[in-house]
């Protein structure tokens, strides 16, 4: 769905974001011009194989890139501000209160020497100033109950909790100041499958209770299918498709999305995993034209020369691929259909 067709408001607007890492052999173009919007109340999945730039994109949005990384260009609009224009002080005020991150391996980011409750209180007091201990305790216990944690862990340390519980503590921290947007970076991948599902359900419940918008980063397509409204598919620093879950799973548009969907394991049918090659080009020296050309089964001459623009191929489906051509009447044709039905 494009912005005009969507009834909801845009809460986060990322435009042409580029983040590169400096290396002795040249810059790694980790995120190389991504554009997307997040709608109010929406959960957007960001998927793609390891190294495609998902975490870098998240850190770029939050302005948390550190050397050798740097933001080369872009705009990140949140609540009327371009985060790239703000001072570190202004950014600090917005982190946790407007935009919260549940980082990769979040549960290992808890301070092992501090009680769980003290860590959550710290987040609250840093932003809101000192408060009565009674009031703080009530708030922490409320947060625990929202994420399904028992009150008895109030005086516990991180090592006394299971992985799933620690992950819930990180969710509690992320929602403590009622942010508009939460970015969860593969926050469930270090957990076993059953715990993953429980944590994922906690995130969904919290999302519904608070009406917060979320970006969920991961590679488990099955989990994504159950959790998100739309999915942005990333390949080598580029977003190649943004589609509704139904559209992506039933009719993936980009050849890379097609490979990803074909690789989703099914309970009833065993099939070989198609994604085995990984990103084939040097991320410091991407080919001109389409970023996926070296692995694309449908590559054409045009793909080797011209980067494909993102176009709407269906109401809730945008794809950057030369296979799709917009006709003067606005309809879309797939050039493979012309080749097979002249
Ligand atoms: N400090 C760094 N120096 C050089 N290159 C880096 C650095 N950090 C990341 N990269 C490169 O940037 C690219 C994107 O990495 P990133 O971690 O964002 O990908 P990802 O999709 O989040 O991967 P994963 O799913 O494994 O977390 C990769 O090619 C990676 O090797």
Domain ranges of the chain: 10-339
pLDDT confidence band for 5 (50 / 70 / 90): very low
Which pair of tokens denotes residue 153?
């862990």
Q: Whose CA is nearest to atom 29 of ligand 1?
A: 51
ipTM field: 0.97
Mean of pLDDT values over 141-157: 95
Residue 219 pLDDT class (50, 70, 90 cuts): confident
Please give the backbone phi and psi of residue 250, each rounded to the nearest 5 degrees, phi first.
Answer: -95, -25
- In terms of DSSP bridges, do strands 43-47 and 69-78 run parallel, antiparallel, or are they unpaired? unpaired
Percent of the chain clearing pLDDT 90 (strictly above): 69
Question: What pLDDT does residue 270 have?
Answer: 52
Q: pLDDT category, 276, cuts 50, 70, 90? A: low
Position with higher pLDDT, 103 vs 293? 293
- Distance in Å, CA 242 to ligand 1 centroid: 21
Distance between Cα 232 and ligand 1 center (Å): 18
Highest-scoring range by mean pLDDT, 27-36, 124-133, 182-191, 192-201 = 27-36
Residue of the CA atom closest to atom 24 of ligand 1: 50
Mean pLDDT of 261-281: 64
Nearest CA to ligand 1 atom 30: 51
Residue 224 has pLDDT above 90, yes or no: no
Q: What is the pLDDT of residues 160-172, one digit of tens each?
A: 998 888 888 999 9
SS3 per-residue string spanning 1-35: CCCCCCCCCEEEEEEEEEEEECCCCCCEEEEEEEE
Q: Which atom of ligand 1 is nearest to the CA of 59?
A: 18
pLDDT band at residue 102 under the 50/70/90 scheme: confident
Q: How far is the CA of 32 from the centre of ligand 1 (A)?
A: 12
Q: Of the residues 56, 103, 217, which should be mutated to test ligand 1's pocket, given the most ligand atoms within 8 Å of the CB? A: 56
Distance of CA 30 from the midpoint of ligand 1 (Å) = 6
Please give the order of strands across the beta sheet that includes 238-244.
Answer: 99-102, 181-185, 213-218, 43-47, 230-235, 238-244, 317-320, 310-314
Average pLDDT over residues 320-338: 93
Identify which of 23, 26, 52, 234 to mutate to test ligand 1's pocket (most ligand atoms within 8 A of the CB). Answer: 52
Binning the chain into helix, strand and coil, the percentages to the nearest 5 are 35, 25, 40
Which class is domain 10-339?
Answer: alpha beta
Find which of 102-116, 176-190, 268-282 is predicted with most confidence, using mean pLDDT. Answer: 102-116
Q: Please, which pLDDT band fits residue 2 given cuts at 50, 70 and 90?
A: very low
CA of 50 to the centre of ligand 1 (A): 8
56 CA: nearest ligand 1 atom: 18
What mean pLDDT comes out for the span 126-138? 92
Burial of 300 (0-12, 13-18, 19+ CB in 10 A): middle
Tell how strand 81-82 and strand 69-78 pair up: antiparallel
> Mutation test of ligand 1: which of 45, 53, 220, 224 has the most ligand atoms closer than 8 Å to its C-beta?
53
Report the mean per-residue pLDDT for the chain.
89
pLDDT reported for residue 167: 85
Q: What is the pLDDT of residue 268?
A: 55
CA 58 to ligand 1: nearest atom: 18
Which has more confidence, 273 or 245?
245
3-state secondary structure of 209: helix
The answer to whether residue 195 scores a pLDDT higher than 80 is no
- Judged against a pLDDT cut of 50, whether residue 24 lies above it is answered with yes
Q: If pLDDT is split at 50, 70 and 90, which confidence band does 192 have?
A: low
For 106, other C-beta atoms within 10 Å of its C-beta total 22
pLDDT of residue 208 exceeding 60:
yes
Q: Please give the pLDDT value at position 299.
A: 95
Ligand 1, CB cutoff 6 Å, lining residues: 21, 23, 28, 30, 48, 50-56, 68-69, 283
- How high is the pLDDT of residue 188? 52
pTM, two decimal places: 0.91
Q: Pick the residue whose CA is nearest to atom 12 on ligand 1.
A: 30
């Amino acid at each position: 769905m494009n912005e005009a067709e969507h009834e909801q408001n845009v809460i986060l607007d990322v435009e042409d974001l580029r983040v590169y890492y400096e290396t002795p052999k040249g810059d790694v173009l980790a995120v190389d011009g991504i554009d997307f919007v997040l709608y109010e109340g929406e959960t957007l999945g960001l998927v793609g194989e390891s190294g495609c730039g998902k975490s870098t994109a998240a850190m770029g949005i939050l302005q948390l890139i550190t050397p050798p990384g740097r933001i080369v260009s872009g705009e990140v609009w949140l609540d009327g501000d371009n985060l790239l224009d703000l001072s570190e002080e202004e950014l600090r005020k917005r982190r946790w209160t407007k935009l919260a991150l549940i980082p990769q391996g979040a549960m290992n980011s808890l301070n092992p020497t501090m009680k769980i409750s003290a860590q959550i209180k710290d987040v609250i007091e840093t932003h809101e100033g000192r408060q009565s201990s009674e009031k703080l305790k009530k708030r922490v216990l409320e947060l625990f109950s929202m994420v399904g944690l028992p009150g008895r862990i109030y005086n516990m340390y991180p090592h006394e909790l299971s992985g799933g519980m620690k992950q819930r503590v990180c969710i509690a921290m992320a929602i403590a100041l009622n942010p508009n947007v939460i970015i969860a970076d593969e926050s469930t991948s270090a957990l076993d499958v059953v715990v993953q599902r429980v944590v994922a359900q906690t995130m969904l419940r919290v999302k519904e209770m608070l009406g917060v918008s979320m970006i969920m980063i991961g590679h488990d397509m099955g989990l994504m299918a159950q959790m998100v409204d739309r999915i942005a598919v990333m390949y080598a620093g580029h977003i190649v498709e943004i589609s509704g879950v139904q559209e992506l799973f039933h009719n993936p548009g980009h050849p890379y999305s097609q490979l990803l969907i074909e690789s989703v394991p099914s309970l009833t049918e065993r099939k070989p995993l198609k994604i085995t090659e990984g990103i084939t080009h040097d991320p410091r020296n991407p080919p001109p034209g389409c970023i996926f050309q070296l692995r694309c089964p449908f590559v054409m001459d045009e793909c080797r020369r011209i980067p494909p623009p993102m176009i709407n191929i269906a109401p809730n489906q945008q794809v950057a691929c030369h296979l799709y051509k917009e006709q003067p009447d606005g309809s879309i044709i797939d050039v493979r259909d012309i080749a097979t039905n002249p």
